[in-house]
Homo-oligomer: A and B are copies of this chain.
């Protein structure tokens, strides 16, 4: 069976979004234990992941170094974080495999994701990223970036266009079928647009759940497993009448989504990605916590979304 495992930020940095490299290795080691259970049981998987804290760190470094270097564009920073995070996951997973006597190979694939240059998102960038800037710093940054006012200062705002297709999905599919564990589509992938016959990087951030769904459908995965910090998706989350969802069809889920049960920027994209996965031929989307990944896959917990 083929699955895409989409790792949320806390799988790599824990709750501390400013986790240093040592902490990142520690957190990823725990995540590796959870993934190893799937692999041990014969699953073919590709792992996708977010990159917000890591790209934030690079942006902050660039901010302090602005007098020495022209800042790198966002798409190149995305490539840097894919290398960094892929390496950390790949090494932690390999060590966990050795510990458990699992003989499987692991590889990180630098992944580009095609977006539409006419995507509505580019007209009005709304996603804040990176550090806070003072009024004066923001004035400088406005030469290169769209800046938005937030509490305490300014932040860079980028567009978050929808992914159209994964440039390297054919390669990723081949590798998974060769029994290799693939880490791909990190940070939602490096956003590229078509210019005539060519592709070129653009400054944007693709939602990692949307990119994971695209990849899952393109490689023909049966399962999209979205790992986050809660074991179940809930209706009326955090309220008195909160209700766990165990098992749900996409029509019912879509109704709840439209009623506003799942906030944008958190559970919303995961729900939308899950619905799209099923609509495009996927068998089941599962949303659960990192610790419960294997139990959820075995059907003992988590929110299961299907036709």
* CB within 8 Å for A171 and B107 given contacts A80-B83, A87-B79: yes
Segment from A197-205, A279-287, A296-304 that makes contact with B: A197-205
Kindly state the separation between the CA atoms of A55 and B211 in the bound complex, as whole angstroms.
29
- Chain A residues 154 to 206 lying within 8 A of chain B, measured CB to CB, are 167-168, 170-171, 174-175, 178, 180, 190, 192, 197-201
Query: A39: CB under 8 A from chain B?
Result: no
Query: A150: CB under 8 A from chain B?
Result: no
With a cutoff of 8 Å between Cβ atoms, the chain B residues found around residue A76 in the complex are: 21, 84, 87-88
The closest CB in chain B to the CB of A181 belongs to: B171
Kindly state the separation between the CA atoms of A190 and B190 in the bound complex, as whole angstroms.
22
A180: min CB distance to chain B, Å? 6
**B95 in contact with A110 (CB, 8 Å):** no
A85: min CB distance to chain B, Å? 9
Query: A20: CB under 8 A from chain B?
Result: yes
**B72 in contact with A21 (CB, 8 Å):** yes
Kindly state the separation between the CA atoms of A90 and B189 in the bound complex, as whole angstroms.
14
**A199 in contact with B81 (CB, 8 Å):** no
**B108 in contact with A110 (CB, 8 Å):** yes
Contact-residue size bin, chain A (C-beta under 8 Å from the other chain): 35 or more
A231: min CB distance to chain B, Å? 30
- Chain A residues 6 to 64 lying within 8 A of chain B, measured CB to CB, are 20-21, 57, 60-64
With a cutoff of 8 Å between Cβ atoms, the chain B residues found around residue A263 in the complex are: none
The closest CB in chain B to the CB of A101 belongs to: B197
With a cutoff of 8 Å between Cβ atoms, the chain B residues found around residue A98 in the complex are: 197-198
Query: What residues of chain A have their CB less than 8 Å away from a CB belonging to chain B?
Result: 20-21, 57, 60-65, 67-70, 72-73, 75-76, 79-84, 86-88, 90-91, 94-95, 98-99, 105, 107-110, 112, 167-168, 170-171, 174-175, 178, 180, 190, 192, 197-201
* Listed A/B pairs (12) with beta-carbon separation below 8 Å: A20-B70, A21-B76, A61-B69, A63-B65, A64-B68, A82-B83, A82-B87, A87-B190, A98-B197, A105-B171, A174-B175, A174-B180
4 nearest CB pairs, A to B: A83-B83, A79-B87, A108-B110, A64-B65
Known: A61-B69, A64-B68. 19 other contacts (CB 8 A): A20-B70, A21-B70, A61-B68, A64-B67, A76-B87, A79-B83, A79-B84, A80-B83, A83-B86, A86-B110, A91-B199, A91-B201, A98-B197, A99-B197, A105-B170, A171-B175, A174-B175, A174-B180, A175-B175
